[in-house]
Amino acid sequence: MPTTYSLHKITNANDFGFSPAHYSRFKYGDGYVAADFGTALAKGFIKDHLINSPAQQFVVISSPYSFIPTATFTLKNHFVSTLNRWLAEHNRPILQETKVHRTITYKEDYGELDAAERLRLIGNDSFHIDREFLTGKTLIFLDDIKITGSHERMIMKMVDEYKLDNEIYMLYFAELVNHDIHPSIENYLNYYQVQSIFDLDDILNSKFSINTRIVKYILNYDHDSVCIFLQNKPDEFINKLYDMAIGNGYHTMDCYKPNLDYIKNQLLTYKINLA
């Protein structure tokens, strides 16, 4: 069985132990908040699990994704930097990294769903990992929040399928431990600071890291609002948005076609060759 560690344990729907506004900004790509979260998680993990433990070769594995990283990926970068500094200071092996590949993307907003709906949604997904690379190492699976445990069950299903016998840690920035609170509390956190597409401007003008959530949010938003939102956005952002979208196969999904076609046409207007 894996060892689960969460920095914040949610027992009260009105007091999370962290800022809901910061969490919401993090989910839409605020790199400053991701740095704070990743650093804090690493320090907590060191204090509670590593100080008195023997040296091990750890492999850090961010939450599964296909082409576009999740928000957790940016958190992971700062988690790794903080933990590596401690490991180096204590003459221990620095971290290695690998990726869990996933095969399916979906339009639904995961944060709105209850436990059964979440499991149905991701149950047909499949996760893949490099088994040989992991031999003899301790695995740290990293995610931002645990609500119902559906993703963790999918990870453990993969562990069983690959017959991994590694020591495993499941690390989360936050975990819902009061199950009288409905899983939709995740949706409340996700949208706390982002009530409309125009709330993204402040995040984009900060230290921004693109992720799956913001790409899907823009592609799925009201078309007229997207057209207004994208006015005066830098070429670099428009290009990144388009490349991330087609990299995840969103150009094959009818629900995203109107906004993605508009983005493509805007790039053509900028005389950027997409042929």
Return the closest-CA partner of residue 41 out of 141, 120, 119. 141
What pLDDT digit, counting tens, does each position of 183-195 carry? 999 999 999 999 9
| Amino acid 206: pLDDT | 93
- Read off the pLDDT of each residue in 171-182 and give the average, rounded to a whole number: 97
Q: Burial letters for 136-155: b for 16+ Cβ neighbours within 10 Å, e otherwise? A: ebebbbbbbbbbbbbbbebb
Cα distance between residue 254 and residue 224, in whole Å:
17
Cα distance between residue 160 and residue 25, in whole Å:
35
Q: Are 168 and 141 in contact (CB under 8 A)?
A: yes
Among the CATH numbers 1.10.3470, 1.10.10, 3.30.70, 3.40.50, which is that of 3-190? 3.40.50
Domain boundaries along the sequence of the chain: 3-190, 197-269
Q: Are 179 and 10 in contact (CB under 8 A)?
A: no
What pLDDT digit, counting tens, does each position of 84-133 carry? 999 999 999 999 999 999 876 655 565 565 666 656 656 567 899 999 99
Is pLDDT at 272 greater than 60 in this prediction? no
Cα distance between residue 102 and residue 155, in whole Å:
11
What pLDDT digit, counting tens, does each position of 217-263 carry? 999 999 999 999 999 899 999 999 999 999 999 999 999 999 999 99
Is pLDDT at 274 greater than 60 in this prediction? no
User: Is residue 45 classed as helix, strand or coil in its secondary structure?
Assistant: helix
Q: Are 2 and 170 in contact (CB under 8 A)?
A: yes
Q: Are 263 and 274 in contact (CB under 8 A)?
A: no
| Amino acid 103: pLDDT | 79
Q: Give, for 8, the enclosing helix (H) or strand (E).
A: strand 3-10
One-letter amino acid of 119? L
| Amino acid 123: pLDDT | 58
Residues forming a β-bridge with 174: 8, 145
How confident is the prediction for the chain on average, in pLDDT?
Answer: 93
